[in-house]
Amino acid sequence: MTAALLAGLLAGYGIAVPVGAVATYLVSLTARTSLRTGVCAALGVATADGLYALLATLGGSALAAALRPVLVPLRWASALVLAVLAVRGAAVAVRQYRSHRLATRSAPPPPGPGRAYLSLLGITLLNPTTVVYFTALVLGTRAADSVSAAGQGVFVLAAFAASASWQVLLAGGGALLGRMLTGLRGRLVTALVSSAVMLALAVRMLL
């Protein structure tokens, strides 16, 4: 049981710690909204990681075979979503900066906690890196076939907890960033940097 716990924690941190497009968007979202919204978004990312950890432990090689034909469409869909988010975020930031107001009637309202959770859950589920990571992890240690159901449950919960703890930490950083950079120019710069990083990672995903 201890081995499953440690393996799950390592797996969760392994997929969560590298800063990619999802982490960048999470920090940016929290900086624009609130810590509560950011935490809900972070839990959306962690839920997706936990679901894939569960599917990987249950499916194994069957999951890998089933996902192989759809990895390319998933990659394109994920890149498209990230590109749309990047362009929309940059456009809103520029429009708010030019109007010299932090909020306008024409600007779309920031997402609430529930919407943020579902959005980040969907984005992470579309990320083929997460699919490949957990599948390869389980297939690389096919001793999972001999692990009890309780051990597999501990692995999944530990992976979720590890991912959640890191994502919430990122959300906290985003909330701090939002309080520090309250000026129009600071918000514009952080939004444009976030959009540029997400767009670059979307392009890299396709290449």
Q: Are 123 and 50 in contact, with CB atoms under 8 Å apart?
A: no
* E strands in the chain: none
**pLDDT in tens for each of the 207 residues of the chain?**
777 788 778 777 877 766 667 777 888 888 888 889 999 999 999 999 888 888 777 765 565 566 667 667 766 776 777 677 778 778 877 887 777 654 444 555 678 899 999 999 988 887 766 666 665 555 555 444 455 677 778 888 988 999 899 899 988 888 877 666 545 666 677 667 767 766 776 676 676
| pTM beyond 0.75, yes or no | no
Number of domains in the chain: 1
Cα-based angle 155, 18, 30 (whole degrees, multiple of 5): 95
CA atoms within 13 A on the CB side of 21: 27
- Residue ranges making up the domain that contains 152: 2-206
At 22, is the secondary structure helix, strand, or coil?
helix
CA distances (Å), 108 to each of 83, 89, 91, 130, 131, in order?
18, 11, 11, 30, 32
Six-digit token string for 199: 């767009």
